[in-house]
Structure 1
Amino acid sequence: MHLRDVVSSLDVEYFDPPYGEFTIARILKATEGRKTPVFRGVGDGFTGVGNLVDTRAKLFAFLGVSSDEEAYTKLLSAVENPGRAELVSTWRDMYREVDSLRKLPMVRYYEKEATPYITSGVVIGVGPQGVMNASIHRFSPLGDRRAVVRLVPRHLYQIYKTNLRYGRETPIALAWGVHPLVLLAAATSPPYGVFELDVAAKLMGGLKIMAMDNGAVAPFMASVVIEGYLTAELATEGPFVDIVGVYDRVRKQPVVKVERIYVLREEAYVHYLLPAGLEHIMLMGFEKEAKIWKLAKSAVPGVRKVRLTRGGFGWLVAVISLDKSVEGDAKNAILAAFAAHPSLKIAIAVDSDVDPDDPVAVEWAIATRLRADRGLFIIPYVRGSTLDPVALNEEGLTHKIGIDATRPLDADPALFERARIPEDF
């Protein structure tokens, strides 16, 4: 599906040139949670768009669901029982080729970023025995036909390192400007060998893909497709703002040798994803929230609601509301959360009368229901998130905190009742 057709279903606000260096970033920030900005004339034949799934309402509309539980169930079911993307044979006439990455309308988002980036590119890599992986990676140009891509130690990294051991470069295709459910699927973490575009096919009721000359594939009608290879060469990558809103450290990362750059002939819509913005948080964290919900609920049937919080950038902090039947239920739910999402740093359990979406209510629960001697515990020296600035090493080694802010069952419930002003009658 053309991204233009996706945008037509949203509440949009249009913008026109000229664009200053950080104009697009400022507009994305100003409109997130409200409007979907459309940036006309960002380049020759290009239109930009952002904030496609910056709210649950937008994501639920694309998924065709009306509640957290429906969304979690549909997403996890697609991961566990993916569909099959359909290969199309005719696509080249729909695309034009450009000869330089610098002709693509990439932008900088924050003042200390070294270079313009593609922040919503889905990279499809090909591993041994034809195993394919699709995941979202930031991508920045080094020249007309060279770029650097940030790899984290997950499946594409595993494919890349395995190919290097055999003396092979890794064939890739980067797709920029795709359906939001392709992005959601690419942000999931299925078992190795499960192809995320097949997950997207299940979510969307079908997905067409096109074969590249190097053996990779890309979603049909992606606005931009960059075909190339991950090489053994490394180059400096960063600084770049990651999910927690601080500048990620500068590293040596793999260089992409670009073979071809395809652009849709019919108005290519490219997707500007604001780093550390609400859309970044939603895409990166939603599947992890679903996994926490599933595992915590299996451990404690009284679990009512789960949130990876906005203050934790949808990644490092979780709040779980529950009705506990025995003491220890809250801690079991917290431990399940850490198991479901290993990058999680802080997990807080609250009673079901506390809304996890309300940070003041969560703080109130901590203030009035936490007894630190029995409700606060630390799990030392465990693998956490590489995005945590105070992690003990680059692998994310850290100490994790569990907070049981539920009322003690042996205490008088009246002591914990929230006072309310009645409606007029």
Structure 2
Amino acid sequence: MRLNLRRYLRERGRDKGYLEVEEELSLKYEVARYLKLYDGGPVLKFTKPKGRDMPIISNIIPDSSDVLRALGAKDLKTAYLSLLKACENPVKLKLKSDAPFQEVKFRDLSELPILTYYEKDGGPYITTGIIIAGDKRTGLFNASIHRMMVLSPTRLTIRVVPRHLYYIMRESWKRGEDLPIAIAIGCHPLIYLASAASPPLGIFELEVANSIAGDGIEGYEFEDGLIVPRETEVVIKGRILREVYEREGPFVDITGTYDRIRMQPVVEVDAIYGKEDALYYALLPAGKEHRTLMSFYREALIWRRVSEIVPGVRAVKLTPGGCKWFHCLISLDKMSEGDPKNAIIAAFAAHPSLKMVIVVDSDINLDDPTEVEWALATRFQPAEDLIVIKSIRGSSLDPSSDQERLLTSKMGIDATIPLGKPREAFEK
């Protein structure tokens, strides 16, 4: 079956609610207020964004149950395996000669309902743009999600970190060329999950999604070789201009705090396409949907790495209080005293942005913070069970770290029952 965003929205709406907001709302703050109010709740559709004809949708994949729905998985372990296996076994998209998003050609960015979310934002932001870039000559393509701030009706500034898009961009610039890109807005959430992953350079994330979908994603190829999912709601064609930079930010990132202003590359918009009844997908920065998309692949990596090192891993969880990025809980059946510390080191290696890892026994429910704290209170001795690592690679998103050199300190906690003591002394 072909993946279809609208069918998915109907299915999620039946299970978790579907709220149509018919009030005319400003793109500046007012729509975002509703996104905050209903964060993680029903599918939202704003039918009358002020000054725009295109409806806005949100809340399509805010929690793990939605991830399972998108991946067609019965549980998280199956979902982890599905995504990781697909990263190793991508499937090319079947290409068609036309696409529904070619029905309308928009004048410029001013026709899209691009939102300003928070008071100190640097400007309106596209928060759901999947950037598709590559080189037809080499066959190297990449799809990844990047925030973009509107500079003018035909220009954006894009946050690019030193990963795959950055590499492709620099290679294009070395040839003296702008980098052609396609920006896909409004795809099935499976495509967003794959685009938020980081498989090795050379693995095309759209083909990862197609592998999970059982070859259910059709593509449309532009003349420059860039491939976009056919069922995308809105597609922007443009170029990342060679060595042209503008200020980007402030922007509220996954931490809920403002990321700093940086000089970032500029995108020149050449054309904008959309379906006749296109839906614009908006994602609340630092909301549940943002954190779910960013965290899932990292949870899968942590689960795989820790399972390779330590037998008996039961569950892995990036916690909401840790922005689903910095803090990780691991439950396991301990077989030797060194297992928890090995698990801690493996987790730090799998996801370098982690700052804290807590390992507990499998009788502790990772979804219950009170149970985790109880394990800390009754099974953890700081002098013996605490690991602190200084001056190690961290995340640029952490305002407490050295954000220039990407250095931080990390803490690991073994809150498991000592094997040398009677287990019944630690059970409720």
The TM-score range, normalised by the shorter chain, is over 0.9
Count matched residues. Answer: 417
Which whole-Å CA distance do the structure 2 matches of 1:93 and 1:288 have between them? 32
* Aligned residues of 1:102 and 1:141 also touching (Cα < 8 A): no
Q: Which amino acid aligns with 1:80?
A: E
Uncovered stretches (5+) of structure 1, i.e. residues with no partner: 419-425
Paired residues for 1:244-259 under 5 Å: 244-259=255-270
Give the deviation of 1:2 after TM superposition.
Answer: 4.9
* Larger CA deviation: 86-95 vs 366-375: 86-95
1:350 match: secondary structure: strand
Quick check: 1:320 aligned with 2:330?
yes
Aligned match of 1:85 in 93, 98, 101? 93
Number of the residue aligned with 1:129: 138
Number of the residue aligned with 1:40: 47
Q: Which amino acid aligns with 1:71?
A: A
Number of the residue aligned with 1:54: 62
2:48 match: secondary structure: strand
* Aligned residues of 1:228 and 1:260 also touching (Cα < 8 A): yes
* Aligned residues of 2:101 and 2:233 also touching (Cα < 8 A): no
Quick check: 1:350 aligned with 2:360?
yes
Give the deviation of 1:5 after TM superposition.
Answer: 2.8
Aligned match of 1:164 in 173, 176, 183? 173
Q: Which amino acid aligns with 2:96?
A: V
Number of the residue aligned with 2:380: 370
* Larger CA deviation: 396-405 vs 279-288: 396-405
Q: Which amino acid aligns with 1:10?
A: R
TM-score using structure 1 length: 0.95
Q: 1:39 to 1:117 in 2, by over 3 A?
A: same
Give the deviation of 1:217 after TM superposition.
Answer: 2.2
Give the deviation of 1:215 after TM superposition.
Answer: 3.2
Quick check: 1:26 aligned with 2:33?
yes
1:344 match: secondary structure: coil
Q: 1:306 to 1:338 in 2, by over 3 A?
A: same
Deviations along 1:179-211, one digit per CA (max 9) or x if unpaired, are: 100100000000000000000111222211212
Paired residues for 1:340-419 under 5 Å: 340-418=350-428
Give the deviation of 1:395 after TM superposition.
Answer: 4.2
TM-score using structure 2 length: 0.94
Give the deviation of 1:45 after TM superposition.
Answer: 4.2
Identity %: 44
* Aligned residues of 1:379 and 1:400 also touching (Cα < 8 A): yes
Q: Which amino acid aligns with 2:389?
A: I
Q: 1:93 to 1:32 in 2, by over 3 A?
A: closer
Q: 1:171 to 1:395 in 2, by over 3 A?
A: farther
Uncovered stretches (5+) of structure 2, i.e. residues with no partner: none
1:8 match: secondary structure: helix
Number of the residue aligned with 2:274: 263
Aligned match of 1:102 in 78, 103, 110? 110
* Larger CA deviation: 177-186 vs 395-404: 395-404
Q: Which amino acid aligns with 2:46?
A: F
Q: 1:371 to 1:5 in 2, by over 3 A?
A: same
1:41 match: secondary structure: coil
CA RMSD, 1 decimal: 1.5
Quick check: 1:186 aligned with 2:195?
yes
Aligned match of 1:4 in 3, 6, 30? 6
* Aligned residues of 2:144 and 2:195 also touching (Cα < 8 A): yes
* Aligned residues of 1:239 and 1:248 also touching (Cα < 8 A): yes
Q: Which amino acid aligns with 1:170?
A: L
Runs of 4+ in 1 over 4 A off after TM superposition: none
Number of the residue aligned with 1:241: 252
Q: Which amino acid aligns with 1:119?
A: T
Give the deviation of 1:221 after TM superposition.
Answer: 2.1
Deviations along 1:118-142, one digit per CA (max 9) or x if unpaired, are: 1011000114723111000011221
Deviations along 1:353-375, one digit per CA (max 9) or x if unpaired, are: 11111112112211221111111
* Larger CA deviation: 13-22 vs 304-313: 13-22
2:322 match: secondary structure: coil
Q: 1:417 to 1:2 in 2, by over 3 A?
A: closer
Give the deviation of 1:155 after TM superposition.
Answer: 0.5
